[in-house]
Chains A and B, each alone.
Chain A
Amino acid sequence: MTARCVRSVSGSLQLLLRNRWPKVYGAATCSQKHTYTPPPAQYGGRHTVTLIPGDGIGPELANHVRELFRFCCVPVDFEVVNVDSTMASEDDINNAIMAIRRNGVALKGNLETNHNLPPSYKSRNNLLRTTLDLYANVMHCQSLPGVRTRHRNIDIMIIRENTEGEYSSLEHENVPGVVECLKIITRTKSLRIADYAFRTAREKGRTRVTAVHKANIMKLGDGLFLECCKEVASGYPEITFDSMIVDNTTMQLVSRPQQFDVMVMPNLYGNVVSNVCAGLVGGPGLVPGANYGEDYAVFETGTRNTGKSIANTNTANPTAMLLASCLLLDHLKLHAYANMIRRAILSTVTETRLHTADLGGQGSTSEVVQSIMKAVESTGPRTLSL
């Protein structure tokens, strides 16, 4: 109990201190080695991870993740926090945020936003991302061997600014019938995301970073973003940097997606590009997504769909959520477990007869999960019985 209190106090102190001495990003800090230490394992070497089931297919997928982790004897315990997205009060989401602050990592399903409600009801997902300052949304889209798509050999890493831009939720109606929506671009956040993109590219051995923008029209806003990217790029001479306008980018993506390597962009373009890339590699059921901040990390499916129409029909594709849980394990430095489960998932995806409806097959979610567990068992480690 006291350990947790100390952590939360030190957490708030950290926030206070951080505001007084703002970090300096950019070329000057490229030599700083960024080491991350995961939150300390608690209670006998087992990590506690917040689990937010969400709406639609979220709860059933969350159950499958838990089932799989239990089967593989992964030393992770889930603290389940249910968020009721239909409630007007923000208590539920605040509880979830507090839980994530406690544990440091989370696995999350998408929370539905009813867009017919008045603006006072904010998107719960957005609230979570901005409150926890999860500034980088990373999605790695790769062509999978067993999945038939129109384009082959795609390997694109999309890094999207996650907290500002068009998603600032600042709107007002000065004159009746005229609504203004503000898109905010700041130097600090643009430098931060550019720095993150180049660091990640370097770590993963990628050779090219493309900034996606619309600076020919939004000269000041996207112009600032582009400027920050160029500044950071100067500190990474081994990585090629170029930029592309967003409409040309989408056109190139559907004709020749193999030309892209790492892409960095503001919030809304990130939304469009990540969905296009997810569609190109096989759909929303295959790609995991990760949201990283300075202190917290939240993992979810890449395209953030609730899947309302297929909820509780046992037809959802669990691959995206399970791969997201592997990213979670990597983040907790439990690489052996992550690789074991990932190998099993990828071997199952290549089997066409187990494809779920979104991949054109007739398999069910539970069949896919069973097959993954069998694949894990056959590789040898001690597991619970099937």
Chain B
Amino acid sequence: ISGVFWSFLNGRCVIFLAYLNIVCLCSASQMQTVTLIPGDGIGPEISVAVMKIFEAAKAPIQWEERNVTAIKGPGGKWMIPPDAKESMDKNKIGLKGPLKTPIAAGHPSMNLLLRKTFDLYANVRPCVSIEGYKTPYTDVNLVTIRENTEGEYSGIEHVIVDGVVQSIKLITEQASQRIAEYAFEYARNNQRASVTAVHKANIMRMSDGLFLRKCREAAEKHRDVKFTEMYLDTVCLNMVQDPTQFDVLVMPNLYGDILSDLCAGLIGGLGVTPSGNIGANGVAIFESVHGTAPDIAGKDMANPTALLLSAVMMLRHMGLHGHAKKIEAACFDTIRDEKVRTQDLGGNSKCSEFTDAICQRVRDMD
């Protein structure tokens, strides 16, 4: 009889646990797993800093650390380790630190490998002036959305005859449509008023013309967002005079590279700029775009702001706006306070001190 009783209890337990599971899945504070790629150089220390801050903010994020050193797969093709790929495919969201590109290692850059593996077609860089960090430009608030798979960076080059080189810039209808649609979706989801397509169709009539046409088509489908088109040189000219006139900018690869770095320079450089890469199948990898800074690696001098702001961008992407706002405010307040700033922002503090200050502020906010 006790055996029957036991199995009855077990059955109930199983049902009860299953019920609990379902309740957990439905609840809003369910833990989401995110793949974390610490990277090289200062990567590990700033990743630790971000994890600490997220813990202090009680963000429902579980980190799954993975390494992405290139390995040679079957057939001789370079690829990222299969466990990293599996983790990303499962979690869909990733946070990445700086990866070093070894020269003459025989394999392409890691960033390129990641881009190709997950078809990361859109690079999104929101550039917002940081209140505590003064630059000659104030009130910058724009987003650059750059097509990341084709364009001038297709890598197709030939030597026609000795001394004559041709590089091919590839623009396809599919990729242009995809990026244009994404730009308008982003504008809609983030309450941005206008999207500007940046091009040089007066000179590159067919290629940028195709890109522009796809942008116009996407604009037709999203009438609630204003659409303008502007030449690349005019954008550059106006950007350095008055960056407040721009909102969301969408453009092909090369112009995006130049303009996104220009905008990063306006707000203070790559050390404070967040960045996100959106891929097909819902994959999104958020990263810090600065280098690995091998000279300060391991010395607790790094500035985790870029990775932290990218992580905040990630939280917003996942819909966790409350936590995102809290952490972002804490970060900006700490920088504005000027008491604990890392060396690149003009202060003397260590990375750990900066991190602790932010953690303290986050806890105080609760």
Same complex for A and B? Answer yes
Residues of A within 8 A of B (CB): 113, 115-119, 121, 123, 126, 150-151, 166-167, 169, 171-173, 176-188, 214, 217-221, 224, 246-248, 250-255, 268-269, 271-272, 274-276, 278-280, 283-284, 303-305
B297 at the interface (CB under 8 A from A): no
B240 touches A171 (CB 8 A): no
What's the nearest-Cβ distance from chain A to residue B224, in Å? 25
Which of B167-175, B303-311, B338-346, B356-364 is the contact stretch?
B167-175
**A residues less than 8 Å from B207 (CB atoms):** 171, 179-181
A183 touches B238 (CB 8 A): no
Q: Is the interface of B mostly helix, strand, loop or mixed?
A: helix
- Contact for A250 among B153, B199, B262, CB less than 8 A: B262
**A residues less than 8 Å from B81 (CB atoms):** none
- Within the assembled complex, what's the spacing in Å between the Cα atoms of A117 and B203? 11
B170 touches A183 (CB 8 A): no
B234 touches A305 (CB 8 A): yes
B204 at the interface (CB under 8 A from A): yes
**A residues less than 8 Å from B234 (CB atoms):** 275, 305
- Within the assembled complex, what's the spacing in Å between the Cα atoms of A151 and B137? 10
Count residues on chain B whose CB falls below 8 Å from chain A CBs. 56
B265 touches A180 (CB 8 A): no
Mask, B138-163, CB within 8 Å of A = 1, is 00000000000000110101110011
B164 at the interface (CB under 8 A from A): yes
What's the nearest-Cβ distance from chain B to residue A259, in Å? 13
**B residues less than 8 Å from A188 (CB atoms):** 163
B26 at the interface (CB under 8 A from A): no
**B residues less than 8 Å from A255 (CB atoms):** 135, 265, 269
Mask, B157-196, CB within 8 Å of A = 1, is 1110011111111111110000000000000000000000
A251 touches B265 (CB 8 A): yes
With A118-B205, A181-B206, A279-B238 already in contact, the answer to whether A250 and B265 are too (CB < 8 A) is yes
A253 touches B232 (CB 8 A): no
With A150-B137, A220-B159, A254-B262 already in contact, the answer to whether A276 and B237 are too (CB < 8 A) is yes
B170 touches A180 (CB 8 A): yes
- Within the assembled complex, what's the spacing in Å between the Cα atoms of A125 and B200? 14
Known: A166-B204, A181-B204. 16 other contacts (CB 8 A): A117-B205, A150-B136, A167-B203, A171-B206, A173-B206, A179-B171, A179-B206, A179-B207, A181-B171, A183-B166, A185-B165, A188-B163, A250-B262, A253-B262, A271-B232, A276-B240
**A residues less than 8 Å from B239 (CB atoms):** 276, 279
**A residues less than 8 Å from B212 (CB atoms):** 115
- Contact for B237 among A123, A151, A252, A303, CB less than 8 A: A303
